[in-house]
Structure 1
């Protein structure tokens, strides 16, 4: 008769303890919360580009809403709060590290920190431009008053 060899040694540790697994899971959880913020801080251009695209998207949504509902739609731009508000839909919070500027018709400025870009049922608008910048470069999102078209372009400062 032959004997079956043992595959595992009799003495010594096999595997991990529960405490070791919990420590590894805690470290992984910390890394998952810390790494995204470090990543966005390392690539401010990506954050700015994303904010510019989201700004253009909310402007397009405002225009489409005015056309679809057959009523004026206003997008409130709050420079102090770094926020764009489209009533009845959503708000867009812009990163605090970006400089936000609004060029709009004087009658559309509520005060020196808040203004409105208004869209009409025929697709036209009051026009305007939102600038998102980080230093001497950024993105400008323009709204053509006659057609309501939204243009996204890079911007280089003076």
Structure 2
């Protein structure tokens, strides 16, 4: 049988116990903060891939809805995507460490690639490769259907 004094002693934590827990939590937090922010290459790569696909699909949609050809110019060195519709120019940039390449048919790399979307649904442009660590993807355009195709490497 437990006495009344035993029950009163078991009601909570002592100041020493709370202090020890806070010190341990502080040490763990300090270690995590010293390590810096956590980066995921797959998330970074996915964001860059999504941005490129968004720019290309938006250009394709604008060509179909406006009845005018829309051009996307990819500067691989600057990682700049420039969308041109008539006199309107819109810039998007790839941020982070993802690299873009425009491979030539017979070897070598181009510094710029021009992707054209016509109002009849056709499209033209070179393949575009994205690379980050173990992640790589090739983005191509179907010249007849205008579809934007992705090929995981």
Note if 1:124 corresponds to 2:122: yes
CA 1:112 to 1:141, structure 2 compared with 1: closer, same or farther past 3 Å?
closer
How many residues matched? 114
Alpha-carbon offset, residue 51 of structure 1: 0.8
Q: Secondary structure at the match of 1:84?
A: strand
1:143 aligns with 2:151: no
- With the length of structure 2 as denominator, give the TM-score of the two structures: 0.64
1:77 paired residue among 74, 85, 89: 74
Between the aligned partners of 1:144 and 1:102, the Cα distance in structure 2 is: 16
Q: TM-score, normalised by structure 1?
A: 0.62
Does residue 45 in structure 1 map to residue 42 in structure 2?
yes
Structure 1: gaps (5+ residues): 1-30, 106-110
Provide the rounded CA distance (Å) in 2 between the counterparts of 1:67 and 1:113: 28
Distance 1:64 1:86, change over 3 A: same
The aligned counterpart of 1:92 is 92
State the Cα distance separating 1:57 from its structure 2 match: 1.2
Greater mean deviation of Cα atoms: 92-101 or 77-86 = 92-101
User: SS of the residue aligned with 1:46?
Assistant: helix
Structure 2, unaligned stretches of length 5 or more?
Answer: 1-32
Return the alpha-carbon distance in structure 1 between the equivalents of residues 71 and 102 of structure 2.
Answer: 14
Which runs of 4 or more aligned residues in structure 1 lie more than 6 Å from their structure 2 counterparts after TM superposition?
none
- 49 and 90 in structure 1: CA distance in 2 versus 1, 3 angstrom threshold: same
Q: Per-residue displacement from partner, 1:66-96 (whole Å, max 9, x unpaired)?
A: 1111111100100111111113363221135
SS of residue paired to 1:140: strand
Q: Secondary structure at the match of 2:120?
A: coil
Alignment deviations for residues 7-49 of structure 1 (CA, whole Å, 9 cap, x no partner)? xxxxxxxxxxxxxxxxxxxxxxxx8xxx9x933xx21211111
Q: Is the 8 A contact 2:41 2:133 kept in 1?
A: no
What is the rounded CA distance, in whole Å, between the counterparts of 2:53 and 2:110 in structure 1?
22
Corresponding residue of 2:61 = 64
- The RMSD of aligned alpha carbons is 2.6
